[in-house]
Amino acid sequence: MGKTVLITGGSRGIGAACVRAFAQEGWRVAFLYRERADKAGELCRTFPDTLALQADLSKPDEVERGVEQAQKHLGTLDALVCNAGIAEQKMFCDLSDGDWTRMLDVNLMGAVRVIRAALPGMVHKKSGSIVTVSSIWGVRGASCESHYAASKAALIGLSSSLALELGPSGIRVNCVAPGVIETDMNASHTPETMRELAFETPLGRIGTAEEAAQSILFLCSEKASFITGQTLGVTGGF
């Protein structure tokens, strides 16, 4: 039987690209999604052994139920990809406590809840790989997205800390920090803004969700068996 992976935010963008990449490599896949059941259904029709589970990562009971169902379907988890997240552009002075709470609750605590639910099985078998998906903005900061950048920086700190804590249990933890990627999250930008961002990228173009997914697949695979505690920038040099 192939290796098993649970992916969050799997119905679109980088998450959907991960579902496709892992499935095409022979992994058995389950993924969590909050909305876009139509996109989730398309993936399951393309990869019939894939399980899609609806769950809001801001709700602990839904996370626990989703992870439990994924483990029942897959058996033990070999890998976990914490990709789900939200973004918002707003000036710092206009951000309310509610804005901060919502951003951190999904981007940081969503990952915490999923890892907490999936970890006992990995600890029990003394192996596993966890990859969190941060952002270049979590590394360098972002104007008018301070709450988003802070949440993504927190994921880097979480991943580095867990790598130290879980290494003795044979569990690797790494982080991917994508640059400007062509996804729904960036669809709000004007074509002019996207051209400017491409110009600022040394490779001269916007990245694809598939390129980010391949990096995540690599970090979950045995090819990365001695890599842990790292943040990999998939940025085109941005």
Catalytic residue positions?
148
How many CB atoms sit inside 10 A of residue 100's CB?
14
Nearest CA-CA partner of 14 in 159, 158, 214, 175: 214
What lies within 8 Å, CB to CB, of 151 at 6+ separation is: 85, 103, 104, 106, 107, 108, 138
Q: Measure the CA–CA gap between 120 and 129, rounded to whole angstroms.
A: 13
Alpha carbon of residue 152 to chain centroid: 11
Q: Measure the CA–CA gap between 138 and 53, rounded to whole angstroms.
A: 28
**Residue 219 has which token pair?**
């970090």
